[in-house]
Amino acid sequence: DSAPVVTIDGPSGTGKGTLANLLARELGWHYLDSGALYRAVGWAAIQAGIPLEAAHAEELGTLARNLEIRFQPEAEGPVRTFIGKQEVTQELRSGPVSEAASIVASMKPVRDGLLDLQRRFREPPGLVADGRDMGTVVFPEAPAKVFLTATPEERARRRYEQLRGQGCDVSLERITQELRQRDERDTHRNVAPLRPSEGAYVIDTTDISIEEVVAETLRRVRQSL
Ligand code: C5P
């Protein structure tokens, strides 16, 4: 498939999701939230009672390969996510599922199991793909690649505000600790570790507004198409 792809990678709390969504809307392109796929595998593993351990990696890989996930965009508010017939939009954002997602994401069979599914999102007129390895592994030939960073303190603060806004009762301390743990795991795993792809345009979003990030990225994307 030759539809163009823009990859947006980086750790959580850098504004990746917001940027990818706005960009997809602006360009009229499809949107892939790859993190939601890893979250879905984590959720399904918990439901099925499969231990999140290396000894069960193949079983978890099979779960990933057979994942029946569906995204349903709404006119207002966030995209709704279904696994089979069950709506899991809220549950996928919970602490335990975030943790499970980052554990299964370190397993090669799981990553391999999600590859085809991710690549099927690439359809005309184009795709904005959001994740950790969109530019390095899933769409290495993408014409435009962005990598977002921000200080850990700022990322934790954003995540905290976001969860608070959704009515979750969380502490900043706990969020900071969870974020640090996930960063550590995502950056140091053997398969598809989090890092900027060669040729990626790196933007530090700590002190700039999301509007500026969107404008700058759009300019880059239009140049590269
Ligand atoms: O982006 P989000 O926080 O929803 O991702 C959840 C987890 O899924 C991350 O902590 C990371 O471990 C994993 N992930 C990944 N590769 C991606 C997207 C997410 O390993 N492309």
Nearest residue (CA) to ligand 1, atom 8: 35
Ligand 1 centre to CA of 132 (Å) is 6
Ligand 1 atom with minimal separation from the 138 CA:
21
| Of 106, 108, 132, 138, best ligand 1 pocket probe by most atoms within 8 Å of the beta carbon | 132
Ligand 1 centre to CA of 207 (Å) is 24
State the pLDDT at residue 225.
82
Tokens representing residue 182 in the block = 């996930």
Nearest residue (CA) to ligand 1, atom 2: 35
What tens-digit pLDDT sequence spans the chain (225 residues)?
589 999 999 998 899 999 999 999 999 999 999 999 999 999 999 999 999 999 999 999 999 999 999 999 888 878 899 999 999 999 998 889 999 999 999 999 999 999 999 999 999 999 999 999 999 999 999 999 999 999 999 999 998 998 898 888 889 999 999 999 989 999 999 999 999 999 999 999 999 999 999 999 999 999 988
Nearest residue (CA) to ligand 1, atom 20: 105
Note the helical H segments in the chain.
Answer: 16-27, 34-48, 57-65, 95-104, 108-119, 152-165, 172-188, 210-224
State the pLDDT at residue 79.
87
pTM above 0.95, yes or no: no
SS3 123: coil
Pocket of ligand 1 (CB under 6 A): 12, 34-35, 38-39, 101-102, 105, 131-134, 182, 186
Closest CA to 23 of 134, 179, 175, 156: 134
Ligand 1 centre to CA of 85 (Å) is 23
- Residue pair 129/8 in contact by the 8 Å Cβ criterion: yes
Ligand 1 centre to CA of 105 (Å) is 7
Nearest residue (CA) to ligand 1, atom 14: 35
Q: How many residues would you count in the chain?
A: 225
State the pLDDT at residue 217.
94
Q: State how far the Cα of 107 lies from the Cα of 99, in Å rounded to an integer.
A: 14
State the pLDDT at residue 67.
96
